[in-house]
């Protein structure tokens, strides 16, 4: 985990992304940064992320993804630092943000936004019982 990369404006977790050549959304590392609706909106409004916006959750494309919306909602409720602490605990516990060669990972497995948020909470309250084995792998 590279905490310096932090969170993207939408809620993606740059800090745990396996894309080594990317320096993170906030550092201009994202190849799609100039076209990103979420990034542009947050920069224009002076927000650290979508989770600070009064219109959250909106219909911006990235927020249509369950994991991204759940991460942003978690940051809104508990703050960026707690989200990063949860992701760090998840990494120590063996959770994968992205499976090798894929854009999905363990945080995409829970059912719905509430399931992802519950999984994150369990990671720092000592009750993580997450099954870390993928079906069919």
pLDDT in tens, 24-34: 777 766 667 67
Q: What is the pLDDT of residue 75?
A: 96
Contact 17, 99 (CB under 8 A): no
Q: Where are the domains of the chain?
A: 3-125
Q: What is the pLDDT of residue 46?
A: 95
Within 13 Å and on the Cβ side, how many CA atoms surround 88? 14
Q: In the chain, which residues have pLDDT < 70?
A: 20, 28-31, 33, 126-137
Model's pTM, two decimal places? Answer: 0.85
Q: What is the pLDDT of residue 130?
A: 46
Q: What is the pLDDT of residue 133?
A: 39
Q: What is the pLDDT of residue 25?
A: 78
């Amino acid at each position: 985990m590279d905490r310096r990369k932090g969170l993207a404006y939408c809620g993606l977790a740059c800090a745990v992304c396996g894309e080594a050549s990317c320096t993170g959304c906030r550092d201009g590392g994202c190849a799609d940064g100039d076209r990103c609706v979420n990034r542009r909106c947050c920069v224009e409004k002076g927000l650290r992320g979508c989770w600070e916006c009064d219109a959250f959750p909106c219909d911006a494309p990235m927020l249509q993804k369950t994991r991204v919306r759940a991460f942003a909602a978690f940051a809104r409720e508990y703050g960026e630092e707690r989200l990063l602490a949860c992701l760090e605990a998840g990494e120590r516990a063996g959770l994968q943000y992205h499976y090798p060669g894929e854009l999905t990972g363990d945080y995409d497995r829970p059912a719905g936004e509430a399931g992802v948020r519950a999984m994150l909470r369990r990671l720092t309250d000592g009750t993580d019982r997450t099954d870390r084995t993928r079906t069919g792998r």
